[in-house]
């Protein structure tokens, strides 16, 4: 059985059994994928619901499928965009932290199931973090003892 090695996904371990057509082009062989959006959802679902640790390129694949920038995903996960970039490039000794990986799985599954409960919660928490970070904390001296001002 001839299969197609689908490297266009950015992943090196995806092989298509069917659902593709090979055709000649002026530049050589070309491949058309039937319903690529559905294929990408299936790949993402397999990654997010799988029992093995998410690899850096798989993490990137999930982020791209959700159309999130590294900065936006960082805000959702509570890290800066440089952390996301390092995880996606495999540039950390510890890999992707377990809590970030778990949240990424939940977030993606929520995304493809079109039930935005987790997505909305994450966005609200990210917005709250941003507001709290920018919020000024005021203190006052009250008879020689410092306390947070109202």
The predicted structure's pLDDT at residue 15: 95
The predicted structure's pLDDT at residue 133: 62
Looking up tokens 């490039």 gives 89
Please report, for the chain, the start and end positions of each structural domain, with discontinuous segments joined by +. 1-34, 49-150
Q: Which of 3.20.20.120, 1.10.10.10, 1.10.260.40, 3.30.70.920 is the CATH number of 49-150? A: 1.10.260.40
Question: What's the pLDDT tens digit per position in 60-107?
Answer: 999 999 999 999 999 889 899 999 999 999 998 888 999 999 999 988
Q: Is the pLDDT of residue 142 over 70?
A: yes
Q: Using a pLDDT cut of 90, give the percent of the chain over it.
A: 62
Rounded to whole angstroms, what are the CA distances from 115 to 14, 28, 35, 107? 27, 42, 22, 10
Average pLDDT over residues 2-29: 94
């Amino acid at each position: 059985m001839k299969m197609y090695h689908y490297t266009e996904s950015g992943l090196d371990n995806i092989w298509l059994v069917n659902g593709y057509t090979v055709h000649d082009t002026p530049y050589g062989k070309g491949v058309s994928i039937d319903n690529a959006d559905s294929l990408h959802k299936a790949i993402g679902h397999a990654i997010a619901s799988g029992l093995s640790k998410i690899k850096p390129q798989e993490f990137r694949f999930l982020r791209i499928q959700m159309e999130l920038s590294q900065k936006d995903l960082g805000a959702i996960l509570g890290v800066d965009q440089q952390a996301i970039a390092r995880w996606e490039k495999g540039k950390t000794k510890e890999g992707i932290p377990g809590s970030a990986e778990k949240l990424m799985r939940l977030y993606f599954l929520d995304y493809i199931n079109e039930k935005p409960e987790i997505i909305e919660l994450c966005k609200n928490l990210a917005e709250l973090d941003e507001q709290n970070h920018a919020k000024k904390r005021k203190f006052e001296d009250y008879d020689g003892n410092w306390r947070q001002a109202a």
